Structure formats: structure tokens, C-alpha cells
């Protein structure tokens, strides 16, 4: 029995089976490549589900984490520490918002954003029966609160009843949103680019109209930038391309580039009238190790000018994908932004393509039931894109 087989069997014996894992045991990474326990090389266009923006083996990133491990890993939020101040300062500077709360994951960031929005409305009028409008085909996480605003019954049905006071509107359909608004509406939550739902960017007219509506009705706009933020679309945050700033933004994934960390970030209005001591907390969130990672990620993004690199290189990726769609009848269209791209497939199971690509040495993902999802490290080059196209075609 190979080492990989031993590891897979041990995992299946001991770990709760909530994932249908691919039969690969990844051992290490370098640049934009992963290597399994048997030494096989894989070109990575999944980045751990849009997490490893810097690629693998970045020495400055590793050194920052090692240095922090030698100093202090955890203190709890009862005390101050410098990495917290540094990481928060970077987030506020880059988002243009006012206050940040660090979490351990994206789902926890969504939970905190929901609580902040409800507390804001409660502070305003003393009522506890407020409603949130979310989007159909959205995905915000698997905890009860995050699941409650995830517009997909497949994820929700086994766990009902969920959190009440949630209505669902159609993404990119402003009239659908407007017809759902009542005097009880306290927040509208959406992904700036829908991810799991099939890689759908917000239409400019739609997101701007929603922002205007929120301003007029004193409704908080929550933008989920967990997957599409941190430079992935060629902007620091996807909403920047629309000239729209949310009242609350949620972040995770590439925020720590592998270290588990998330955050929800509030503008001055939301921060001043929502959560106060005793309303929300976390033991591990914002610990020195996680914050050292966040601070270093922002520093490296700036030093490497990664956002500009995405903006410069994305048109080449889009061109090559458009050529694929033109070439193959079973590919119907491409959609996305920057290095968050989807190819729609008809008459072929996407899962089979993803599996075959892995066998060929290419890591790709799916989104929904009919979309090939490409969310590579932000350091990929045109040569990496060419190699991805070659391997993807071989997989077809």
C-alpha cells in the first residue's frame, strides 16, 4: 500500500465524512504548483478555494509567521498586542471603512455582520423584529446564521427551521429587491460576485441602485467579499470597480493566505450604533499569529503590486477562456472578473471534468452544477495560463 493510500484510509476511518475528497494527498507547494505525497506535480488554479493568493513558499510570508510564533501566538481579546493594531490598520486603510472585528472564518464574519446590522436597527428604534434581504443562489457559509442568508434550499433544508426574518430577492434584479423592502428591513446582504452560485458579478446599475436604496431607507448594505475580495477581481475589493462602498464588508480566504482568519469591517455609521462590549466576542479571533499573517499579506500585496498584476494579466486569461468557449460546443459562455472566472458547461458533468483535470495534473474547481471555476493564486503568469489551457483541453 502506498503512503498516499495509507493516509487516505486513516483519514476515512477517523474524520467525519462531510467531504467527498479527491484521491490525492497533497504534501507541499512551491509557487503555483502543488505536489502530492508520491511526488506528482499539479498546476494549481484553485488556490485552496481562492485562499492562497501569494502562491506557495513565499519566504517573506513564512518568515513573518515564524517570527510571530517565536514571540506570541495567543493572548485572548482581553489584552492589546501589536499585530492586532497593525492588521486592523491595514484593513481600515485599504477598505476606507472605520472599524474591524477579527473572526476565525468567513462564516463567522457573516454571523458578526448579521448581528451588527440587527443591533444597529435595534439601537435606532428599539424593535427586535427586523428583516434582512438576501439573494437567491447566494452562498455565505454553513453556520446557522450564514446558512439562513444563503439562497439555496439544497444547503438549508436539512437544518430548518433557520434564523427568521430573512427574505430572498433575485440577484441583479433591482425590482425584486425593492419589492421585498419593508419598514422592518435592516440590511441587504449580497456577494459582490456570486461564487458558489455560478460566478455572477453584480451588474453596475443593480449594485448602485441597491446602495442608493439603502441610503434612502437607512438600511445597511452588507457586501460579502470573502471570495471576490483581496485583489482577486483586479481591484482591492470587487465593489471598488462599481464606485460603491458598503456599510459592512466581510472578508476571509486570501485575507490570511492560509492562516484561518476572517473579519467584518464597519463604516463609521454602523460602528457607532451597533456592537458594544458584551454584544459579541471570540476567544481566538484576531490572535497575534493570525494578525501577523494579515498584516504581512497586505504588506506583500503592496510590495508585489499584486492587484495591478491581476488587472494586467486578467485580460489574457479571459481571452484564452473565450477561445475555449468558441472552440468547444459543450462550453456555452465565460463569466467572471479578474482571476475569478467561470466557464459554463452543458451536456457534460462538471465533476467529471474536475476529476479528469486532477488526474492530468491540474487543480480546478466547480461552482454550482454546471460551472468550471478558476480562482488561481494571484501570482500566475501568462505562461501558467497557457499551461492551464493545455491541461484543461487534455482533460476535455
Query: SS3 string of the chain?
Result: CCHHHHHHHHHHHHCCCCCCCCCCCEEEEEECEEEECCCCEEEECCHHHHCCCCCECCHHHHHHHHHHHHHCCCCCCCCCCHHHHHHHHHHHHHHCCCEEEEECCHHHHHHHHHHHHHHHHHHHHCCCCCEEEEEECCCCCCCHHHHHCCECHHHHHHHCCCCCCEEEECCCCHHHHHHHCCCCEEEEEEECEECCCCCEECCHHHHHHHHHHHHHHCCEEEEECCCCCCCCCCCCCHHHHHCCCCCEEEECHHHCCCCCCEEEEECHHHHHCCCCCCCCCCCCCCCHHHHHHHHHHHHHHHHHCHHHHHHHHHHHHHHHHHHHHHHCCCEEEEEEECCEEEEEECCCCHHHHHHHHHHHCEECEEECCCEEEECCCCCCCHHHHHHHHHHHHHHC
Same domain, yes or no: 186 and 259:
yes
Same domain, yes or no: 232 and 92:
yes
Same domain, yes or no: 223 and 184:
yes
Q: What integer pLDDT is reported at residue 69 of this predicted model?
A: 98
User: Does a structural domain hold residue 66?
Assistant: no
Same domain, yes or no: 149 and 245:
yes
Query: Of the residues 304, 327, 343, which one is the last residue of a structural domain?
Result: 304
**Dihedrals φ, ψ of 150, to 5°?**
-95, 120
User: Does a structural domain hold residue 67?
Assistant: no
Query: Of the residues 283, 304, 325, which one is the last residue of a structural domain?
Result: 304
Task: Walk along the chain (396 residues) in steps of 10 and give the mean pLDDT of each run.
Answer: 91 96 97 96 98 97 98 97 98 98 98 98 95 98 97 94 97 98 98 97 98 98 98 98 98 98 98 97 97 98 98 98 98 98 96 97 96 98 98 97
Q: What integer pLDDT is reported at residue 2 of this predicted model?
A: 85
Residue from 253, 296, 298, 384 carrying the catalytic annotation: 253
Provide the residue range defining the domain that includes 354. Answer: 3-57+305-395
Residue from 224, 237, 247, 264 carrying the catalytic annotation: 224
Query: Of the residues 288, 304, 320, which one is the last residue of a structural domain?
Result: 304
Same domain, yes or no: 334 and 388:
yes
Annotated catalytic residue 139: yes
Model pTM score: 0.97
CA quadruple 384, 386, 387, 388: dihedral, nearest 10: 90
Annotated catalytic residue 253: yes
CB 380 within 8 A of CB 313: yes
Q: What integer pLDDT is reported at residue 238 of this predicted model?
A: 98
Residue from 101, 102, 139, 237 carrying the catalytic annotation: 139
Domain with 321 in it: what CATH number? 3.90.1150.10
User: Does a structural domain hold residue 65?
Assistant: no
Same domain, yes or no: 292 and 316:
no
User: Does a structural domain hold residue 63?
Assistant: no
**Dihedrals φ, ψ of 310, to 5°?**
-65, -45
Domain count, the chain: 2
Annotated catalytic residue 160: no
Q: What integer pLDDT is reported at residue 1 of this predicted model?
A: 80
Q: What integer pLDDT is reported at residue 228 of this predicted model?
A: 98
Same domain, yes or no: 142 and 173:
yes
Domain with 197 in it: what CATH number? 3.40.640.10
Same domain, yes or no: 326 and 273:
no
Amino acid at each position: 500500500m502506498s503512503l498516499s493510500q495509507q493516509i487516505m484510509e486513516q483519514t476515512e476511518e477517523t474524520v467525519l465524512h462531510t467531504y467527498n475528497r479527491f484521491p490525492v494527498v497533497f504534501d507541499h507547494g512551491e509557487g503555483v504548483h502543488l505536489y502530492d505525497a508520491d511526488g506528482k506535480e499539479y498546476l494549481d488554479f484553485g488556490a485552496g478555494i481562492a485562499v492562497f493568493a501569494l502562491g506557495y513558499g513565499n519566504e517573506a510570508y513564512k518568515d513573518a509567521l515564524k517570527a510571530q510564533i517565536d514571540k506570541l501566538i495567543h493572548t485572548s481579546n482581553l489584552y492589546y498586542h501589536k499585530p492586532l493594531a497593525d492588521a486592523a490598520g491595514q484593513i481600515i486603510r485599504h477598505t476606507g471603512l472605520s472599524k474591524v472585528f477579527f473572526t476565525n472564518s468567513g462564516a463567522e464574519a457573516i454571523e458578526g455582520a448579521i448581528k451588527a446590522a440587527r443591533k444597529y436597527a435595534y439601537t435606532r428604534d428599539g424593535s427586535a423584529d427586523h428583516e434582512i434581504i438576501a439573494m437567491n443562489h447566494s452562498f455565505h457559509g454553513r453556520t446557522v446564521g450564514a446558512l439562513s442568508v444563503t439562497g439555496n434550499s439544497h444547503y438549508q433544508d436539512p437544518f430548518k427551521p433557520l434564523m427568521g426574518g430573512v427574505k430572498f430577492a433575485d440577484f441583479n434584479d433591482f425590482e425584486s429587491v425593492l419589492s421585498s423592502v419593508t419598514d422592518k428591513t435592516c440590511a441587504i446582504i449580497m456577494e459582490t460576485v456570486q461564487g458558489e452560485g455560478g460566478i455572477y458579478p453584480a451588474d453596475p446599475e443593480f449594485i448602485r441602485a441597491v446602495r442608493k436604496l439603502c441610503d434612502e431607507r437607512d438600511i445597511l448594505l452588507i457586501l460579502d467579499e470573502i471570495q471576490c475580495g483581496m485583489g482577486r477581481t483586479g481591484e482591492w475589493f470587487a465593489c471598488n470597480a462599481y464606485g460603491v462602498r458598503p456599510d459592512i464588508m466581510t472578508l476571509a480566504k486570501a485575507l490570511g493566505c492560509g492562516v484561518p482568519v476572517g473579519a467584518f469591517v464597519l463604516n463609521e455609521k454602523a460602528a457607532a450604533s451597533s456592537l458594544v462590549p458584551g454584544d459579541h466576542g471570540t476567544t481566538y479571533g484576531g490572535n497575534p499569529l493570525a494578525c501577523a499573517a494579515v498584516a504581512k499579506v497586505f504588506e506583500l500585496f503592496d510590495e508585489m503590486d499584486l492587484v495591478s498584476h491581476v488587472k494586467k494579466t486578467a485580460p489574457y486569461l479571459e481571452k484564452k477562456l473565450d477561445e475555449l468557449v468558441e472552440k468547444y460546443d459543450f462550453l456555452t459562455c465565460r463569466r467572471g472578473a479578474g482571476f475569478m472566472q467561470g466557464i459554463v458547461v452543458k451536456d457534460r458533468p462538471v465533476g467529471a471534468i474536475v476529476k479528469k483535470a486532477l488526474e492530468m495534473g491540474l487543480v480546478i474547481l466547480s461552482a454550482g452544477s454546471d460551472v468550471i471555476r478558476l480562482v488561481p493564486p494571484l501570482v500566475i503568469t501568462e505562461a501558467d495560463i497557457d499551461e492551464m489551457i493545455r491541461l484543461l483541453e487534455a482533460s476535455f
